[in-house]
């Protein structure tokens, strides 16, 4: 379920602020999480931004596998 902020914070969404929201607008965010076992999971994300001077969307991607080291 997406989180929502009160309307007095209109642009503080996904790692954003007024300047970023004006110049680098996040238009789509995709996240895939795969549970590998009881102690590991893998994620892959794609944040798509509209940026000045670019015709196509910019894809900022990241992925990693995280392992629990203590219980």
∠ CA 13-50-57, nearest 5°, is: 125
Number of structural domains the chain divides into: 1
- 5 assigned to some structural domain: no
Q: Can you tell me the distance from the alpha carbon of 59 to that of 44, in angstroms, rounded to the nearest whole number? A: 12
pLDDT: which is higher, 3 or 70: 70
- 6 assigned to some structural domain: no
- 1 assigned to some structural domain: no
Predicted TM-score (pTM) of this structure: 0.67
Q: What is the pLDDT of residues 28-54, one digit of tens each?
A: 889 999 999 999 999 999 989 889 999
- 3 assigned to some structural domain: no
Residue 45: what pLDDT? 94
Residue 39 is part of which domain span?
Answer: 26-67
- 51 assigned to some structural domain: yes
Average pLDDT (4-26) is: 64
Residue 30: what pLDDT? 92
Average pLDDT (7-33) is: 73
């Amino acid at each position: 379920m997406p989180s929502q902020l009160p309307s007095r914070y209109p642009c503080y969404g996904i790692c954003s602020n007024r300047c970023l929201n004006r110049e680098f607008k996040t238009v789509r965010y995709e996240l895939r999480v795969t549970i590998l076992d009881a102690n590991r999971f893998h994620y892959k994300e794609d944040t798509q931004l509209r940026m000045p001077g670019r015709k196509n969307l910019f894809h900022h991607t990241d992925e990693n596998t995280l392992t629990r080291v203590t219980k």
